[in-house]
Structure 1
Amino acid sequence: MKPIWIVDDDQSIRFVLEKALAREQFAVRSFSNPRDVLSALDEEAPQVLVSDIRMPGGSGIELLSRVKARHPGLPVIIMTAYSDLDSAVSAFQGGAFEYLPKPFDVPKAVELIRRAVDESMREAVLDDRQAEMPEMLGQAPAMQDVFRAIGRLSQSNVTVMITGESGSGKELVARALHKHSPRGNGPFVAINTAAIPKDLLESELFGHERGAFTGAQTMRRGRFEQADGGTLFLDEIGDMPFDLQTRLLRVLSDGQFYRVGGHQPLKSNVRVIAATHQNLEERVKQGVFREDLFHRLNVIRLRLPALRERREDIPALTRFFLQKSAKELGVEAKRITDAALERLMGFDFPGNVRQLENVCHWLTVMAPAQVVEAKDLPPELLAMPASIPLSAAPAPAIAGEAPPVPTSLPPAELPLPMATPAGVGTPSFDPAPYAPAPMPAFPPNALGGAPAVAAPAPAGASRAWLADLEREARQLLEAGSPEVWDMLTRQFEGQLIHTALDITRGRRIEAAHKLGIGRNTITRKIQELGLDD
């Protein structure tokens, strides 16, 4: 690992950080001014840069700008004794990883640097993976069905029907089917039949001759002609007017059509892919969709799962959309904590992937820091109750076997999730934060005096522990003790963290891994529970 660079004109600050980081087995290199840092960057780059904001020979903000121009992914921590608004805003606008006001608590500063190191190493891995990113990658089990479905259809011109909720990415799937088909070099033409007025839709699909109707000043080619030799994607086909369904059926049957106002039959070699969020079988029963057209379109049906059915893909999609939004806006991409990702995974997202993309765009603009925490999520999401318990969220795919996705599909349908950017792992999960409060004083009970256990307890011991917990809870509830839930939860969390730290001899990152929580979470919990006093 590369060294940590400390830049500060104050020798005492450099000395303290050097000694503290050395104790944590970090290599350190110190500088007293920005000029020496820029010269050293010509030869190597640090793992993390920690810089003062006001120094002789240049400011930390200017140094931040020049370092980011050379190494965009390098985490930079800005520290200053002048804790003013302008400094903080300038630091974050320049892409700083974090803002550290002086005087600071040395252990907390070291923990912040450790977070930055972890982030830089993770970003380096992501950059390597994204450099060789395949077109599609998904961690949800249904994604394997996608690959198989597109593979089976790659040499076929068969008509495909894609079903799924609005915002779930049906057009992305249609484009993938087109790209990997024999027509991949031909045009891909998309039209949303629900977004065009009925009077104009016929002309949009089939074109019109000059003078066919008022305003038709010239001849116009329709979408079928434009898609000749390629693929025509008919989105929201379930909303197509009934009379136009008859014309569409005729085109699908013999490949011939007439422009509006025309008398010469035209032929177009087009593969049709249709999509809808509606239940077409029900529409047929209601008499608003032609049964023969339904069977003509429904040769192969691919079902695109809702985002809530593949929650394990949310972290990868979130990071991808944050990168995409940052690129569109010309700003530094935001990073997101495990706790914030876990909160996102708990929401149902009725707007599916499109809604998640909008949330990421909002975070890119509105999140106050470069690292997005759970409290920074949009208010409408924070106000929504989580649809699944956070502890029941899917386990990370990189940590073991992928959990099953809750789906119940007819045999003829293939679950098909939206394309997920490759190379982005799913993080570990953090429990939801609790409000800070002092540790409660408990009467003697199994929770307060249990010794640390280094191995799983036998089943009988586990039942005895739960019985002790039940008795303690019953006593507190019958006594009318206030905030019983918070008291027992904090006692339980405190004992777990204390035991893990005892086993790992105080190494917080290792303790967090053993507990299955994030490194940020264990640091926050230690502070909230007063375990570092």
Structure 2
Amino acid sequence: MREKILIADDEESIRWVLGNCLEKAGYTVEYAEDGTQALERIASDNFSLIVLDIRMPDISGLEVMRQIRSAGIDTPVIIITAQNTVKNAIDAMKEGAYDYLLKPFDLDEVKITVQRAVESYRNAKKLEQFRAALKEAIEPSQEIIGKSPAMLKIYKTIGRIAEKDITVLITGESGTGKELIARSIHQNSRRKEERLVAVNITAIPKELLESELFGYEKGAFTGATIRKQGRFEEANRGTLLLDEIGDMPFDLQTKLLRVLEEKRFYRLGSEKPVEVDVRVIASTNKNLEEEVALGRFRKDLYYRLNGITIEIPPLRERKEDIPLLVEYFVDRYGKEFGIGKRVISEEAKEILLEYNWPGNVRELENTIKRVLVLSSDSIITADILLEAAPYLKGKTPGKEDSLDRLISSHLINLINSHEEGPRGEGIYGTIMKMVEKPLIETVLKLTRGNKKKAASLLGINRNTLSKKIEELGIYIAEASD
């Protein structure tokens, strides 16, 4: 059975030239003289491709495309135009066109473009059944995707602890989905009708963190013109997620421990205790046992938080989950971006499976979003994937990868997950703090706490280093000059 194509153009000569070309190429061609007629034909028949003139007397080609997309018709569309402008190209692609062609036509180019569009659509239809089968296993409502033994073990743990008011510590590398696990615990607990309040410790400047957590009274400090509730009060009767707890300043850890033990705290500037009923979930990408050994994290607080530990494996250690994750993200963002159905080829999946994903699930998610936005094809082939995400060519970010690539990969994940700080702090300030603290800690470790040597290595004076150590809450086990 020959593929059927609709050509809609108000110029008879254009319809004849295109139709003659495509009929000789083996296609069945039908015609429409304007946008209204095109919509009628599309509603009453099935086409493998629709070719629309961007300018027609009643309804423009772009408006026809908007209407058929709104009706759920995902047939590929090629826009034809006599005006080679950036705006026309951008408008066509934004509305979901497969491609666009310029008048006067290069008929060889027309045949190649049409063939690619028709084949892409045909392949997508053939693979729909396979794609639907995978969707059943994904369980998109949960948003925690994975059927690997490690993830099944985590699901069982969540089921056992969700309704019990025990403190939970979630560990794992950045981008593994620690917050999703925390939300799943909350949503399956007896506190699910109340709020889950998430606090990212690294996103809040050290000098503001105490007031963010515990609130303050009017007049407690300059600028405190009203009384403000802290995050603990906001989460009362609900759940408080302390994200990146391993970066909490040492002096504030003592106050947190007291709150966990006594279930009450004092707002800044107040002598009246505030009692709260809060379940605390903490998460970190650090090894807290090592932090305790290095004197940077309180041992008693670690034991208090470590009621139950859920360790999320990095994506490279559960690669069997990658196909499920890919299908989930393709389906989710295809709908969210309004770009219709897309399918990842087996060759493209192999590339995704071979890559080691230093940014974990978040990096995979961002890669799929990037590919969907930059490609018009229904089938995401290996070539299309590598064109949109060239960093996948290296497969594993090991010795052969440049430092620039590693840094860029992590920065992309940080930027995509960034939330504005409590006083409008931008991404630059947040990332600089995240880089600055481990840099200074590493240099101090190498110099065995010798500030003079550390300052010299860093290229800053010793007073500046001391100030940074205080601001960033860096603990030096054996500090010396």
Could you state the TM-score of these two structures normalised by the residue count of structure 1? 0.60
Cα separation, 2, equivalents of 1:213 and 1:82: 66
Cα separation, 2, equivalents of 1:140 and 1:83: 53
SS at match of 2:108: coil
In the TM superposition, what is the alpha-carbon distance from 1:211 to its structure 2 partner? 2.3
Change (3 A) 1:365 1:112: closer
Change (3 A) 1:335 1:85: farther
Contact 2:98/2:376 (<8 A) preserved: no
What is the aligned counterpart of 1:376 among 387, 401, 414?
387
Contact 2:124/2:378 (<8 A) preserved: no
Change (3 A) 1:49 1:176: same
Cα separation, 1, equivalents of 2:220 and 2:60: 70
Q: Which residue of 2 aligns with 1:246?
A: 254
Matched, 1:277 2:282: no
Cα separation, 2, equivalents of 1:327 and 1:79: 22
Change (3 A) 1:79 1:12: farther
Change (3 A) 1:352 1:99: same
In the TM superposition, what is the alpha-carbon distance from 1:368 to its structure 2 partner? 7.2
Matched, 1:180 2:188: yes
In the TM superposition, what is the alpha-carbon distance from 1:358 to its structure 2 partner? 3.3
Matched, 1:49 2:49: yes
Cα separation, 1, equivalents of 2:296 and 2:174: 20
Q: Which residue of 2 aligns with 1:96?
A: 97
AA aligned to 2:180 is L
Number of residue-to-residue matches in the alignment: 375
Cα separation, 2, equivalents of 1:276 and 1:54: 53
In the TM superposition, what is the alpha-carbon distance from 1:273 to its structure 2 partner? 0.4
Q: Greater shift after overlay, 179-188 or 30-39?
A: 30-39
SS at match of 1:233: strand
In the TM superposition, what is the alpha-carbon distance from 1:174 to its structure 2 partner? 0.7
Q: Which residue of 1 aligns with 2:162?
A: 154
What is the aligned counterpart of 1:226 among 218, 234, 247?
234
Q: Which residue of 2 aligns with 1:203?
A: 211
In the TM superposition, what is the alpha-carbon distance from 1:305 to its structure 2 partner? 1.7
Cα separation, 2, equivalents of 1:283 and 1:326: 42
Cα separation, 2, equivalents of 1:321 and 1:237: 29
AA aligned to 2:366 is N
Change (3 A) 1:4 1:92: farther
Could you state the TM-score of these two structures normalised by the residue count of structure 2? 0.66
Change (3 A) 1:331 1:222: same
Cα separation, 1, equivalents of 2:350 and 2:151: 21
Cα separation, 1, equivalents of 2:296 and 2:52: 69
Q: Which residue of 1 aligns with 2:4?
A: 5
Contact 2:48/2:76 (<8 A) preserved: yes
Q: Greater shift after overlay, 150-159 or 116-125?
A: 116-125
Change (3 A) 1:249 1:194: same
SS at match of 1:203: helix
Cα separation, 2, equivalents of 1:41 and 1:108: 21
What is the aligned counterpart of 1:118 among 115, 118, 123?
123
Cα separation, 2, equivalents of 1:141 and 1:96: 42
In the TM superposition, what is the alpha-carbon distance from 1:301 to its structure 2 partner? 0.8
Q: Which residue of 1 aligns with 2:339?
A: 332
In the TM superposition, what is the alpha-carbon distance from 1:370 to its structure 2 partner? 6.9
In the TM superposition, what is the alpha-carbon distance from 1:15 to its structure 2 partner? 4.0
Matched, 1:145 2:150: no
Cα separation, 1, equivalents of 2:71 and 2:332: 21
SS at match of 2:321: helix
AA aligned to 1:352 is N
Cα separation, 2, equivalents of 1:32 and 1:220: 65
In the TM superposition, what is the alpha-carbon distance from 1:324 to its structure 2 partner? 5.6
Query: After superposition, where does 1:420-459 map in structure 2 within 5 Å?
Result: none
Contact 2:168/2:280 (<8 A) preserved: yes
AA aligned to 1:210 is K
Contact 1:95/1:370 (<8 A) preserved: no
Cα separation, 2, equivalents of 1:324 and 1:109: 28
In the TM superposition, what is the alpha-carbon distance from 1:322 to its structure 2 partner? 5.4
AA aligned to 2:389 is P
Structure 2 unaligned spans of 5+: 8-14, 399-481
AA aligned to 2:76 is V
Contact 1:156/1:181 (<8 A) preserved: yes
SS at match of 1:181: coil
AA aligned to 1:288 is R
For residues 228-254 of structure 1, the C-alpha deviation after alignment (integer angstroms, 9 at most, x for no partner) is 110000111111122221221122123
Cα separation, 1, equivalents of 2:211 and 2:196: 19
Contact 2:146/2:325 (<8 A) preserved: no
AA aligned to 1:134 is S
AA aligned to 1:70 is A
Q: Which residue of 1 aligns with 2:316?
A: 308
Larger fraction in helix: 2
In the TM superposition, what is the alpha-carbon distance from 1:303 to its structure 2 partner? 1.0
Cα separation, 1, equivalents of 2:296 and 2:20: 79
Aligned-CA RMSD value: 3.9
AA aligned to 1:46 is N
Change (3 A) 1:341 1:60: farther
Change (3 A) 1:3 1:63: farther
Change (3 A) 1:348 1:334: farther
Cα separation, 2, equivalents of 1:132 and 1:235: 26
Matched, 1:215 2:220: no
Q: Greater shift after overlay, 54-63 or 200-209?
A: 54-63
Matched, 1:264 2:272: yes
SS at match of 2:146: coil
Change (3 A) 1:146 1:367: same
Cα separation, 2, equivalents of 1:380 and 1:70: 37
Q: Which residue of 2 aligns with 1:237?
A: 245
Cα separation, 1, equivalents of 2:146 and 2:41: 41
Contact 1:209/1:220 (<8 A) preserved: yes
For residues 145-196 of structure 1, the C-alpha deviation after alignment (integer angstroms, 9 at most, x for no partner) is 2321222223222111100011222111111110111100011111112222
AA aligned to 2:385 is A
SS at match of 2:4: strand
For residues 326-349 of structure 1, the C-alpha deviation after alignment (integer angstroms, 9 at most, x for no partner) is 677x66368464244433333222
